[in-house]
């Protein structure tokens, strides 16, 4: 879970906490929560390093492929002669959703050879607000080759969504793991991704097209990250549009020359077993 709300204890001898963390700093309130835990686990080595800088020892808990809910389809959804991109993940500033949408529309908008499938439903945003934010990002323009997918009601539906496109866009400024990116890659998509934070734990030059960050920006967005609060204070990685588009073009070349991302399929070998083994080891420890 996230650190906000993790202070309550339900065990006489202390809790162990598995936390997703996305920023490059931890606040005094967050440090207090972490110090109350018997043990802390994080899902990225980047977060492990951030915690260490603030005096918190945490163990890396690798979250792998969920083979119970996700399977490679015998036939992926496709459109002949069309390169399809997928933008997954809840719409928010942290994930650079608006910047991705603007940059992609500027380069590929209304080009019949390309399609952008957006799975960006955010249950924490009223539909009218989300629609307004999308409309603002696109400057009020409509593009026939950008479609917004409805919320997937179950994992079987989302399994198809994650395999709907040859390229998955993973340009988030901060992630604790990014399971949609992980699973889409593990089922054969080519990710265009930031060479930063959690992505570095499972994406390489051989299974992804990586974009070097251009710097950092404050995480505050007035919605999910509020300035000067006790939680979620820090920075996110940022990127330049030209670098993103160059990576998209490289990913297209890989789709044409290699087809399915067979190196990405190797990520299925990391399941949940390693994480469970670590947790069972610690539960058995005296």
Q: What is the pLDDT of residues 115-124, one digit of tens each?
A: 999 999 999 9
pLDDT of residue 2: 72
State mean pLDDT over 152-164.
97
Whether 138 contacts 87, CB under 8 Å:
no
Q: Residue 252: which pLDDT band, with cuts at 50, 70 and 90?
A: very high
- Can you tell me which residue has the tokens 């997954």? 88
State mean pLDDT over 255-271.
97
Helix (H, G, I), strand (E, B) or coil at 146: strand
pLDDT of residue 10: 54
Chain centroid to Cα 48, Å, comes to: 17
DSSP state of 26: -
pLDDT of residue 14: 65
Percent of the chain with pLDDT over 70: 95
Please determine, for residue 67, whether its predicted confidence score (pLDDT) is greater than 80.
yes
Please determine, for residue 285, whether its predicted confidence score (pLDDT) is greater than 80.
no
Return d(Cα 192, Cα 131) in angstroms, integer. Answer: 25
- Beta bridge mates, 115: 84
Please determine, for residue 89, whether its predicted confidence score (pLDDT) is greater than 80.
yes
Helix (H, G, I), strand (E, B) or coil at 100: helix
- Here the tokens at position 201 are 């734990």
Whether 275 contacts 62, CB under 8 Å:
yes
pLDDT of residue 148: 97
Please determine, for residue 13, whether its predicted confidence score (pLDDT) is greater than 80.
no
Return d(Cα 49, Cα 171) in angstroms, integer. Answer: 21
H or E, element range at 87: strand 83-88
Return d(Cα 200, Cα 117) in angstroms, integer. Answer: 25
Sign of CA dihedral 144, 141, 239, 180: negative
Alpha helices in the chain (DSSP H): 28-35, 45-53, 97-108, 127-137, 155-162, 179-186, 241-258, 262-265, 273-284
Q: Tell me the pLDDT of the chain averaged across its residues.
A: 94
Q: Beta-carbon neighbour count of residue 274 at 10 Å? A: 13
Whether 249 contacts 242, CB under 8 Å:
no
Please determine, for residue 286, whether its predicted confidence score (pLDDT) is greater than 70.
no
pLDDT digits 0-9 by tens, 212-250: 999 999 999 999 999 999 999 999 999 999 999 999 999
Return d(Cα 133, Cα 139) in angstroms, integer. Answer: 10
pLDDT of residue 11: 53
For 59, phi then psi, to 5°, come to -100, 140
């Amino acid at each position: 879970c996230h650190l906000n709300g993790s202070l309550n204890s339900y065990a006489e001898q202390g809790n162990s906490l598995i936390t997703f963390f996305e920023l490059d700093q931890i606040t005094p309130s967050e440090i207090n929560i972490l110090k109350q835990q018997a043990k802390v686990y994080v899902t990225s080595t980047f977060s492990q390093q951030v915690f260490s800088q603030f005096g918190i020892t945490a163990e890396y808990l690798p979250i792998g492929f969920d083979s119970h809910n996700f399977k490679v389809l015998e036939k992926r959804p496709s459109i002949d002669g069309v390169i399809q991109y997928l933008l997954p993940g809840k719409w928010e500033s942290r994930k650079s959703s608006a910047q991705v949408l603007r940059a992609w529309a500027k380069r590929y908008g209304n080009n019949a050879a390309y399609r952008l499938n957006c799975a960006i439903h955010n249950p924490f945003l009223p539909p009218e607000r989300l629609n307004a934010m999308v409309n603002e990002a696109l400057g009020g323009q409509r593009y026939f080759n950008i479609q917004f997918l409805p919320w997937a009601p179950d994992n079987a539906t989302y399994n198809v969504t994650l395999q709907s496109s040859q390229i998955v866009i993973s340009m988030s400024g901060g992630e604790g793991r990014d399971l949609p990116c992980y699973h889409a890659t593990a089922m054969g998509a080519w990710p265009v991704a930031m060479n930063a934070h959690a992505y570095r734990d499972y994406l390489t030059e051989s299974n992804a097209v990586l974009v070097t960050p251009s710097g950092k920006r404050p995480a505050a967005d007035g919605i999910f990250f509020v300035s000067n609060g006790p939680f979620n204070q820090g920075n996110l990685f940022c990127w330049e549009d030209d670098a993103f588009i160059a990576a998209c073009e490289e990913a297209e070349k890989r789709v044409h020359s290699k087809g399915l991302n067979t190196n990405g399929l190797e990520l299925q070998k990391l399941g949940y077993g390693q994480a469970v083994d670590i947790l069972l080891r610690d539960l058995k420890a005296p």
